[in-house]
A and B are shown apart, each in its own frame.
Chain A
Amino acid sequence: MQAPFFINQTGTTRVTVGGIRLLLEFSPTEVRVKVRNKTVLIMGENLTIERFDANEIVIIGKIHSTQTE
Chain B
Amino acid sequence: MKRFFNPSVRFTVHDADPTLLNRIREFGPKDIAIDDSKISFSIHHIHKRKVSQIVRNYGPEVVVKGSILTPVAYLYSNRRLAALLCVAVIVFALLNTMVFRIEVIGVEGDEQNQVRQVLDDNGIRTLTRRSVHRDSDAALALMESLEFVAHASTRIRGNTLQVLVHRTPVPPPLPTTDLVSSFDAVVTQVVVLSGTAMVRVGDPVRVGQTLISATFQVGTTVGPMDEFGFFTYIPITAPTTALGIVQGRVSTSLAMMVNSPEEVTVAEAALRSQITGEWTDFAAHTTEIPGGIIVEVVGSRITDLVIQ
Evaluate contact between A26 and B18: CB separation under 8 angstroms.
Answer: no
Q: Spell out B's residues near A (CB within 8 Å).
A: 18-19, 21-22, 25-26, 28-36, 41
Give me 29 A-to-B residue pairs in the complex whose CB atoms sit less than 8 angstroms apart, sorted by A's number: A22-B31, A22-B33, A23-B21, A23-B31, A23-B32, A23-B33, A24-B31, A25-B28, A26-B21, A26-B29, A26-B30, A26-B32, A27-B25, A27-B26, A27-B28, A28-B26, A47-B25, A48-B19, A48-B22, A48-B25, A49-B21, A49-B22, A49-B25, A51-B18, A52-B21, A52-B34, A53-B18, A53-B34, A54-B36
Report chain B residues within 8 Å CB of A23: 21, 31-34, 41
Least CB distance from B199 to A in Å reads: 119
Evaluate contact between B34 and A26: CB separation under 8 angstroms.
Answer: no
Counting from the closest, the 3 A-B pairs by CB-CB distance are A23-B32, A52-B18, A48-B22
Least CB distance from B28 to A in Å reads: 5
Evaluate contact between B26 and A52: CB separation under 8 angstroms.
Answer: no
Which of B18, B19, B30, B34 meets A25, CB within 8 Å?
B30
Total contacting residues, chain A, CB less than 8 A? 15
C-alpha gap A23/B25 in the complex (Å):
12
C-alpha gap A28/B26 in the complex (Å):
6
Task: List the B residue with the shortest CB-CB distance to A60.
Answer: B22
C-alpha gap A48/B30 in the complex (Å):
15
Evaluate contact between A24 and B32: CB separation under 8 angstroms.
Answer: yes
Report chain A residues within 8 Å CB of B35: 54
Known: A24-B31, A28-B26. 5 other contacts (CB 8 A): A26-B30, A27-B26, A48-B22, A48-B25, A53-B18
C-alpha gap A7/B25 in the complex (Å):
21
C-alpha gap A28/B35 in the complex (Å):
23
Task: List the B residue with the shortest CB-CB distance to A54.
Answer: B35
Report chain B residues within 8 Å CB of A27: 25-26, 28
Least CB distance from B35 to A in Å reads: 6
